[in-house]
Amino acid sequence: MPTYCYSTPSGELIEEYFPFGKAPREIVLPSGMVATRDFGAEHNPRPAGGGWPLECVGSGVNAEQAGELREYFVKHGVPTEVSKDGNPIYRDPHHRKRALACRGFIDRSSYC
């Protein structure tokens, strides 16, 4: 099912799932607040702020290996934060490219 975005008057962004073409213009939250569909948020391919820092699940490791990955990055001159789940957190596109390269990864669909 597609994801639809709704904004509250306070600026909070809510994501809801509805069958294609069945999303209402407004939803009422459990708190009673009304959220209006936010078409701009639905069509924005990147989050506000450029999406950085970026936690990358695709280049992550098992949670038990998080410390080992952290040490590997330091040893190879690309200090990188690693989440408790084992996912590297890239600061910017340049950092991401260097960190992937030091592990021998190539992102052929990358924009950097």
Tell me the C-alpha distance between 86 and 57, whole Å. Answer: 8
Does a structural domain hold residue 37? Answer: yes
Same domain, 95 and 54: yes
> Strand order of the sheet with strand 13-17?
13-17, 3-7, 34-37, 26-28
At 89, is the secondary structure helix, strand, or coil? strand
Residue with tokens 């989050």: 47
Residue with tokens 């992102």: 107
Domain count, the chain: 2
Does a structural domain hold residue 110? Answer: no
- Greatest CA separation found in the chain? 53
The band of 110, judged by pLDDT with boundaries at 50, 70 and 90, is: low
Tell me the C-alpha distance between 100 and 73, whole Å. Answer: 10
Write down the pLDDT at residue 51.
72
Q: Which domain holds residue 71?
A: 49-102
User: Which of 31-45, 62-76, 88-102 shows the lowest mean pLDDT across its residues?
Assistant: 31-45
Does a structural domain hold residue 112? Answer: no
pLDDT(33) > 80: yes
Nearest to 60 by CA among 32, 27, 84, 31: 84
Does a structural domain hold residue 7? Answer: yes
Same domain, 40 and 53: no
At 88, is the secondary structure helix, strand, or coil? strand
The band of 94, judged by pLDDT with boundaries at 50, 70 and 90, is: confident
Alpha helices of 3-112 — where are they, by DSSP H?
A: 39-42, 66-75, 93-102
